[in-house]
Amino acid sequence: MDLSVDYLGLKLAHPLLPGASPLADEVGTARALEDAGAPAITLRSLFEEQLTQEQLSTFMATEQHRELSAEASSLLPEPADYRLGPDAYLEQIRKIRGAVKVPVIASLNGTTPGGWIDFARLIEQAGASALELNLYSVPTDPARDGAAVERDTLELVRTLKSRVAIPVAVKLSPFYTSVSSIARGLEEAGADGLVLFNRLFEPDIDVDALEVKRVLRLSDSSELPLRLRWLAILSAQRRIPLAISGGVHEVTDVVRALMAGATVVQVVSALLRNGPSRLLSLRAGLERWLVEREYTSVRQLRGSMNLKACPDPSAYQRANYIHLLHGWREHPGVP
């Protein structure tokens, strides 16, 4: 069975890709992922704020109390070379690259133009085969309208693409007025892939301490439908390869995602919950599923149920709701 796919200029043995997660923090687990058949390793996102905030906080922590008194011209030792988060990240890329044979995809999170973009080049130099740009932000400024937010996003992608030669995938959230429009913009701006969708940290409230906490839950299959819909729509509209991220836990989830139009299926929560070997069973399950139903390749499956190919495209569109509702009303016996 031919499971191979092309994604971000990479020839992947199969479409099941471990997504950006702490699993690649350690060389040991990265190797375990490779052993479980991962076609590439995706590193955890390095955040723009890590790049700037960490630099600034280290700067402040060491500079603030310099020349404080006649006795203490400084309070902390001055290492010959700081290896800030970004440096450690580059080191991590090099180390994982050295430890595994499959390609390494780095991941960078940022939404505003700034010095951090230069870091993409360093990531490239460190040996990453591709880069996933994570557009993770919560726009709260009422003075900045949606158009402005999108314009800046596209500019950011153009800038990034001009700085690096490696392919860049863009991971976006579903919170756009028109996901189709932003997807087109991103494709035109040079993105080499789209990842649907980001899962945001969500607030929770501690009712006793009267504090807000940030939590990140592991995903479950209930998150799948939203993604299926947009895979189905976008894969029908655009040529850019799509990856799904979020909600893939079972073999049938994988099949659905591919049918909706995903080129690559990212898995994170399932691996965090069950360990890297879960990848093996998903892959085996996919293969079995295809064989049992006499598919010849995964390509045959891809997009087979998207907006263009599925028997009833209205199911993906707004009519979906109206249709069901109408059907219900028409049911005999209901007033």
Partner 1 sequence: MSTPRLLTVDGNEAVASVAHRVSETIAIYPITPSSPMAELADEWSAHGRQNLWGVVPRVVQLQSEAGAAGTVHGALQAGALTTTFTASQGLLLMIPNLYKIAGELTPFCMHVAARTLATHALSIFGDHSDVMACRQIGLALLASGSVQEAHDLAAVAHAATLRSRVPFLHFFDGFRTSHEVGKIAEISNEQLLAMMDEVSIAAHRARALDPERPVLRGTAQNPDAYFQAREACNPFHAACPGVVQGEMDRFGQLTGRRYQLVDYHGHPEADRVVVAMGSGAEVAHETVDWLVARGEKVGILKVRLYRPFPAQAFLAAVPRTVRALAVLDRTKEPGAPGEPLYLDVLTTLAEAHAPGPMPVVVGGRYGLSSKEFDPGMVRAIFENLGRPEPKNHFTIGIVDDVSRTSLEWERGFEIAFPGRTQAVFYGLGSDGTVGANKASIKIIGEETEHAAQGYFVYDSKKSGAMTISHLRFGPGPIRSSYLVKQAGFVGVHQFQLVDRLDVLELAAPGAVVLINAPHAPDELWDQLPREFQQTVLEKRLQLHVIDAVKVAQAAGMGGRINAVMQACFFALSGVLPRDAAIAEIKKSIEKTYKKKGAEVVRRNNAAVDASLAALFPVPVPGRITATRGRPPVVAPEAPDFVRRVTAVMLENKGDLLPVSAFPVDGTWPTATARWEKRNLALEIPVWDAPLCIQCNKCALVCPHAAIRTKVYGEGAVAMAPHGFKNVAFKGQQGSEYTVQVAPEDCTGCGLCVEVCPAKDKANPRHKALELAPQPPLREQERKAFDFFLELPEVDRTTLRLDVKGSQLLQPLMEFSGACAGCGETPYIKMLTQLFGDRLIIANATGCSSIYGGNLPSTPYTVNREGRGPAWANSLFEDNAEFGFGIRLGADSLRHLAEVVLKRHAPVLGDAFVTELLEADQSTEGGIAAQRKRVAELKARLKPDGLEACKLRGLADHLVKKSVWIVGGDGWAYDIGYGGLDHVLSTDVDVNILVLDTEVYSNTGGQQSKATPLGAAAKFAAAGKSIGKKDLGLLAMGYRTAYVAQVAFGAKDAQTVRALLEAESYRGPSLVIAYSHCIAHGYDLVHGLEQQKRAVDSATWPLYRFDPRRIPAGQPPLVLDSGPGKLPVREYMRQEARFRITETLDPERYRQLLGWALQNVTQRYGVYEQLAKVVVPQVAAIPDARPPPAAAVE
What is the distance, to the nearest Å, from the Cα of residue 103 to the centroid of all Cα atoms in its chain?
16
Closest to partner 1 by CB, 208 or 330: 208
We find the least distance from the C-beta atom of residue 291 to partner 1, in angstroms, to be 44
Question: Strand, coil or helix: what is 204?
Answer: strand
We find the least distance from the C-beta atom of residue 87 to partner 1, in angstroms, to be 7
How many other C-beta atoms can be found within 10 angstroms of the C-beta atom of residue 31? Answer: 16
Name the residues that contact partner 1, by CB under 8 A.
51-52, 54-84, 86-88, 91, 114-116, 118-119, 210-211
Closest to partner 1 by CB, 73 or 314: 73
- Pair 288, 248: CB distance under 8 Å: no
We find the least distance from the C-beta atom of residue 70 to partner 1, in angstroms, to be 4
Closest to partner 1 by CB, 38 or 51: 51
- Pair 62, 74: CB distance under 8 Å: yes
Residue 271 token pair: 């691996």
Closest to partner 1 by CB, 9 or 114: 114
Q: How far is CA 48 from CA 81, 311, 328, in A?
A: 21, 44, 50
We find the least distance from the C-beta atom of residue 119 to partner 1, in angstroms, to be 8
We find the least distance from the C-beta atom of residue 99 to partner 1, in angstroms, to be 13
Burial per residue of 265-288, b for 16 or more beta-carbon CB atoms within 10 angstroms, e otherwise: bbbbbbbbeeebebbeebbebbbe
Residue among 157, 132, 139, 176 nearest 40 (CA): 132
We find the least distance from the C-beta atom of residue 163 to partner 1, in angstroms, to be 13
Residue 184 token pair: 């087109």
Closest to partner 1 by CB, 64 or 177: 64
Closest to partner 1 by CB, 76 or 138: 76
We find the least distance from the C-beta atom of residue 247 to partner 1, in angstroms, to be 30
Closest to partner 1 by CB, 86 or 246: 86
User: Going by C-beta distance under 8 Å and a sequence separation of 6 or more, which residues neighbour residue 238?
Assistant: 183, 184, 187
Residue among 189, 183, 192, 253 nearest 219 (CA): 253
